[in-house]
Structure formats: C-alpha cells, structure tokens
A and B are shown apart, each in its own frame.
Chain A
Amino acid sequence: MKKDKLTLLLVDDNEKFLNSMAERARMRDYTVLTATNGEQALEIASKQTVHIAVVDQQMPGMEGLVVITRLKAISPDMKTLLLTGHGDDKLKEATQALNSSYFDKENISGFWDFLANLSLGNINILLVDDNPKFLRTLSDRIKLKGHDPLTALNGKQALEIMKSTRVQLAIVDQQMPDMDGLEVITQLKKIDPAIKTMLLTGHGDEKLKEATEALNSAYFEKEDMGSFWGFFRKILKSLETSMAAAGMAEDGDQEDAIKIENPLKKDK
C-alpha cells in the first residue's frame, strides 16, 4: 500500500486548528478528510475507508472517546489517536484501554513524529549500508510500499537500533567499514533469532552465497536490482539534484544546498 493512499480523518470542533493540521498532513502526503463533530466523522467513516483517525476529546455533542469507540465499531482495523488540550492520567488510561494512542496538543511535534512512525502493518524494517545514497534510495522505495524503515550506516549503529527496537526484517550490505554484513547478520540473529535477514552485495560470489544461506538469510546481488535504464535515470536524477544544490549554494544558501545534495547528513 502506498503511503499517499493512506487516508487520515481529522476531527476537531476548532476549525482553525483543524485546517492547520489538515494542511500539515497534506504536506506529508496523506489523503486528508476533516470533520468538525463526531456525527460527521462517523458518517465519513461509514462511507469510505479511513486508515487513521485523529480525534479531539472536547467537542460539543459527542466527546472524543465516544467517537473513537464508535469509529472502532465501524472499522476495527482503524488506527485511532486522541488529541487533547486538557488531558489527565485517567483520560490517558481510558484512551489506551480502547487500544488507541493519546497525545497532548502541547506536544504537537511529538504527534507528527509518532504519526510518521506509525507502522500500519506492524513491521519494522532495518536497512544497513555505508553508502548513504544507496541507503536513501532503498529507504525511499520501501517507503513507497507503505513502511517507514529504520536506517543505519554501519554494523554498530544497526546493533544499537536492534537493542532498543523490535525489528522484523533487516537488509544488510556486505562490505562495510566496521564489520561485514555476515557478521552483522550473525549478531542481529543473536539478539533476536526470529529476525528475517537479507544480505545485499555488489561483489558477490558462490562462497559468500553459501555462507549467507548457512545463516538462514537471503542473498541478493545489487546488480540484479536495477537495469541499465534504471542506472541512467539515477544518474540524471543525481545530476538534477546536484545542479539544484549548486544553484542554491552559488546564490548564498549553502546550508540548504548541503541538505539538497545529501539529505542524510545531519546538522552539526
């Protein structure tokens, strides 16, 4: 399922807040539906598929928790989030009892992070490659499939992520500076034996293939992943990106030029 097909239903009686949230959500490629009260929200949900509903607690007529209960009755698979400006622990417990998430309006930036990381299929994918561009491309492709993968630039980072997060599938490059892909896969499997793993390599051979399969891991050569035209398109896209970055840099905005050229590079 593509992320741009995800439908987000926003329910709030404050129209200004509702419109601002809707605008932000559209910038994040969600299909956005809005309702200013519970009745309207239920009517929308009964007519079309809604993947995620974000509901305000205090609304005239029907309060947020009741709306969530009734939305879940219409579509049990729907992810629901309660947003409130006047929350307390009791309300939080009541929301969680409905298998719904709870957010304070004051912590709105945390809300967007949570929404971005909301895994609809409950699958966490970890990508490990020391080439940031390849990592980005792979990550973008997986995002198009509706997942939000975790990324690591080396084995050490990958193991740290694995210790704090449950990962179901890891895609690992063979040649990396700190430890090779086979070593990373061995360590990942020690942490969670149930993890599915896949080794990617640009310079594979039969021995490596056998060694990978002995670890109960899948094996892919990077060359198999793209055709000549794919490569050609990639070069053109990369040129377009670099020229846009050069244009920004020449006219004095070097910070944004760096971000365009290398989006994975963190601000220092």
Chain B
Amino acid sequence: MLNNFFNTINRLILSSMVLVLSSPVGAFAADQAATGGGDKPWWFWPSILFVFCFVLGVLAVMAGVGGAVLYVPLVSGFFPFHIDFVRGVGLMVALAGALAAGPGLLRRNLANLRLALPVALIASAFSVVGAVIGLRLSALDPNIIQACLGATIVGIAALLIFSKNSEKPVVTKQDAIGLALGLNGLYWDEGARESVEWKTHRTLLGLFMFIFIGLLAGMFGLGAGWANVPVLNLMMGVPLKVSVATSKFLLSITDTSAAWIYMNQGCVIPLIGIPSIVGLMLGSLLGVKLLAIAKPKMIRYLVILMLLFSGLKALDKGLGLGFLG
C-alpha cells in the first residue's frame, strides 16, 4: 500500500515537472511582472514559491542535481524577483542544505575534514571576491550577470550530461602537496566488505581549480557541488562518496562567506528566503524517501533538460536576443 502511495506521488511529481518545464508559473509571473504584480496580496508569491521550491527539492534529490543550481536559474527566469535577491537566497538555500547534511555526514565519517579545510580556505576566500564582483556587475547592468549566469548554467548542464564520476579512482602515487597536507584517508566499504584507502594526486591543480569554483559560487549563488565533486573525484582522485560528502560539508563554509556579502547588501529578503528554504528542505526530505523506493533515470534527464532550457533562457534574456520570449 505504501508503495502504491509513493508511486502515486512519483507520478504527481513527474506531472509537476512537466508543468514546471512548460513554465506556466513563468508565463504567469512574466504577466504579473509586466503589469507590475501589485494587485496580489503579500502572501501570494511566497506561497507559489513555497510550492515551487517543494517540487524543486524533490527533483533535486531524485535527479542528483544540487537544489541551488536549479533554484537560481528557474526562480530568476520564472519569478518577478530581481536577480540579486535570487542569488542571495540561492546561497542561503545551498547553505541550509549543507548545514543540515553536515552533521550526519561527519558522524558517518564520510566527509573528510583534512580534505575540506584547505579547499574551503581557498574557495571561501574567492567566493567573497565572486560575490563582490557579482554585485558590482549587477549594479552596472543586471543583464551582464544574467548572461554570465546563463552561460554557466548551460555549461553545468553539459557537465552533468558528460561527466562520469569514478567510484574509486586509481591513484598510484600521492604528490608532495597532498602528502604534506595529509590528504588521505580510509573508509569502510560495506558492499565490498573491505577498507578502502585513498590519497590525492594533482593536488596543486585541484586546489587551483577551487579559486574558480569559489568565484562562481559567490558570483551566482549556485552552491558548488556540481563543480566540487568532479574536481575532487576526477582530478584529485578522491573516492566518489568521500568527494560528495566532503563537497557538501565544504559548501557550509564556502557559502557562509559569500552569503555575508549578500546579506550586508540587503539581498536576502526573508519573504523570498523562508518559503524557498523551507520548501526545498521539505521537498528534499520527501525526495529521499521516494529515492529509497524508486530511482527513475528519466527524472535526471528531464531535470538536466530543464536546467539547459533555463540557462538558454537566462542567456537569451541577458543578451537581449528575445528568441525565447
């Protein structure tokens, strides 16, 4: 009976996704924005945002795509909010997810502190720089940031389609920097019933990449799991589960630094932030229950398609081409 219930919910989610894809909210929001959107009571947009974010939360978990990555382009594309507010809340959304996941991941010894701290130092410093640059660019002309965001989102969609993470990358020799920073560890693999030792290679290049990851995270408020995991896993040779857990923990440091800049500039509005964070977190709780029952691959492809579409839309809007309306 429980399975039937979850299957029904699954079908509902798929249909909601089609609704999101066909962007009725966007069309409605665009109309509202065109007419000034002032004839609605104060609770109208927060309520729509809550429901929208709840569905996004479910989809993010089921598709394996970060909540903030979906949040920023979709909300900035389909809701009548200024992009600075959306980016500010995007960071808070990523931060809330990371802070909620952190204790469980640390307790299970999945997130590695020795790996996270040097990387976090670099990424958080540059996320502050990214946030400042992002707000400056937006002050010059919001279309610049919109176009950059669009290009980044299209790039993320391509990365999600083409990058294949490796569960246990082979690292034959640890490099000197990895050794000096003690970037190695051991975890118990229950499936294979063996302890797995890991160490990093190409550490300097990996750390260097976190400069860009930090800049992008701060500039667009996207979270950075989509970039952290490939760099840790494919470039530095950290096993997938350690990369993913460490990346999630890492976000709680990186995004905190950038979030301060947005908060200081008044870009985090509670009326947008609270329904978004609560909706996404409740959605991800439901998503994880559904994931334990069924994992339809189609959802991942549809979500990536949705991301690609919203990226192109942002690019179109930013460049003022007008192809996508």
Interfacial residues, chain A to chain B (CB-CB below 8 A):
23-24, 27, 109, 112-113, 239-254, 256-262, 265, 267
User: Contact flags (1/0) for B230-252 with A, using CB distance below 8 Å?
Assistant: 00000000001100110110000
The answer to whether B291 has its CB under 8 Å from any CB of chain A is yes
Candidates B107, B228, B287; contact of A249 at CB < 8 Å:
B287
Determine the distance from Cα of A121 to Cα of B136 in the docked complex, in whole angstroms.
70
> Does the CB pair B67–A250 fall under 8 Å?
yes
> Does the CB pair B195–A242 fall under 8 Å?
no
Closest Cβ of chain A: how far from B139's Cβ, in Å? Answer: 31
> Does the CB pair A242–B225 fall under 8 Å?
no
Stretch with Cβ within 8 A of A (4 or more), from B46-54, B73-81, B95-103? B95-103
> Does the CB pair A251–B195 fall under 8 Å?
no
> Does the CB pair B97–A27 fall under 8 Å?
no
Which residues in B have their C-beta under 8 angstroms from that of A248? 101, 105, 110, 241, 244-245, 248
Q: Which residue of the partner chain A has the closest CB to B241? A: A256
Determine the distance from Cα of A220 to Cα of B248 in the docked complex, in whole angstroms.
42
Task: Tally chain B residues at the interface, Cβ within 8 Å.
Answer: 45
Which residues in A have their C-beta under 8 angstroms from that of B102? 247
Which residues in A have their C-beta under 8 angstroms from that of B292? 258, 261-262, 265
The answer to whether B20 has its CB under 8 Å from any CB of chain A is no
Q: Which residue of the partner chain B has the closest CB to A245? A: B288
> Does the CB pair A247–B291 fall under 8 Å?
no
> Does the CB pair B245–A23 fall under 8 Å?
no
Which residues in B have their C-beta under 8 angstroms from that of A257? 61, 288, 291
27 contacts between A and B (CB under 8 A): A23-B186, A24-B195, A27-B188, A109-B193, A240-B103, A240-B107, A241-B104, A242-B285, A242-B289, A243-B281, A244-B108, A244-B110, A246-B287, A247-B98, A247-B104, A247-B244, A248-B241, A249-B61, A249-B288, A250-B64, A250-B65, A252-B64, A253-B165, A254-B64, A256-B110, A256-B241, A265-B292
> Does the CB pair B240–A246 fall under 8 Å?
no
> Does the CB pair B64–A261 fall under 8 Å?
no
Candidates A241, A250, A262, A265; contact of B61 at CB < 8 Å:
A250
Which residues in B have their C-beta under 8 angstroms from that of A258? 291-292, 295
B279-304, CB < 8 A from A: 281, 284-285, 287-289, 291-292, 295
Q: Which residue of the partner chain A has the closest CB to B105? A: A244
Q: Which residue of the partner chain A has the closest CB to B96? A: A243
User: Contact flags (1/0) for B202-229 with A, using CB distance below 8 Å?
Assistant: 0000000000000000000000011011
Q: Which residue of the partner chain A has the closest CB to B252? A: A247
Determine the distance from Cα of A57 to Cα of B297 in the docked complex, in whole angstroms.
52
Question: Closest 10 A-B residue pairs measured CB to CB?
Answer: A244-B104, A247-B101, A243-B100, A251-B225, A246-B284, A253-B244, A247-B248, A251-B244, A262-B292, A249-B61
The answer to whether B191 has its CB under 8 Å from any CB of chain A is yes
Closest Cβ of chain A: how far from B93's Cβ, in Å? Answer: 11
Q: A247-B245, A248-B241 are known contacts; what are 10 more A-B pairs with Cβ within 8 Å? A: A240-B103, A240-B104, A241-B104, A245-B104, A245-B291, A247-B101, A249-B61, A250-B65, A251-B226, A267-B191
Determine the distance from Cα of A242 to Cα of B104 in the docked complex, in whole angstroms.
9
> Does the CB pair A246–B288 fall under 8 Å?
yes
B171-216, CB < 8 A from A: 186, 188, 190-191, 193-195
Determine the distance from Cα of A244 to Cα of B60 in the docked complex, in whole angstroms.
14
Candidates B62, B100, B191; contact of A247 at CB < 8 Å:
B100
Q: Which residue of the partner chain A has the closest CB to B228? A: A251
B248-293, CB < 8 A from A: 248, 281, 284-285, 287-289, 291-292
B56-88, CB < 8 A from A: 60-62, 64-67
Q: Which residue of the partner chain B has the closest CB to A241? A: B104
Closest Cβ of chain A: how far from B169's Cβ, in Å? Answer: 14
> Does the CB pair B195–A246 fall under 8 Å?
no
Determine the distance from Cα of A258 to Cα of B64 in the docked complex, in whole angstroms.
12
Asked whether A253 and B240 contact (CB < 8 A) given A247-B245, A248-B245, the answer is: yes
Q: Which residue of the partner chain B has the closest CB to A253? A: B244
Q: Which residue of the partner chain B has the closest CB to A238? A: B285
Closest Cβ of chain B: how far from A248's Cβ, in Å? Answer: 5
Which residues in A have their C-beta under 8 angstroms from that of B285? 239, 242-243, 246
Closest Cβ of chain A: how far from B107's Cβ, in Å? Answer: 8
Determine the distance from Cα of A239 to Cα of B285 in the docked complex, in whole angstroms.
8
Determine the distance from Cα of A252 to Cα of B244 in the docked complex, in whole angstroms.
7
Which residues in A have their C-beta under 8 angstroms from that of B191? 267
> Does the CB pair B289–A254 fall under 8 Å?
no
> Does the CB pair B100–A249 fall under 8 Å?
no
Q: Which residue of the partner chain A has the closest CB to B160? A: A252
Closest Cβ of chain B: how far from A138's Cβ, in Å? Answer: 20
Determine the distance from Cα of A113 to Cα of B101 in the docked complex, in whole angstroms.
31
Determine the distance from Cα of A251 to Cα of B240 in the docked complex, in whole angstroms.
10
Closest Cβ of chain B: how far from A53's Cβ, in Å? Answer: 22
Q: Which residue of the partner chain B has the closest CB to A247? A: B101
Q: Which residue of the partner chain B has the closest CB to A27? A: B188
Closest Cβ of chain A: how far from B299's Cβ, in Å? Answer: 11
Candidates A23, A241, A254; contact of B195 at CB < 8 Å:
A23
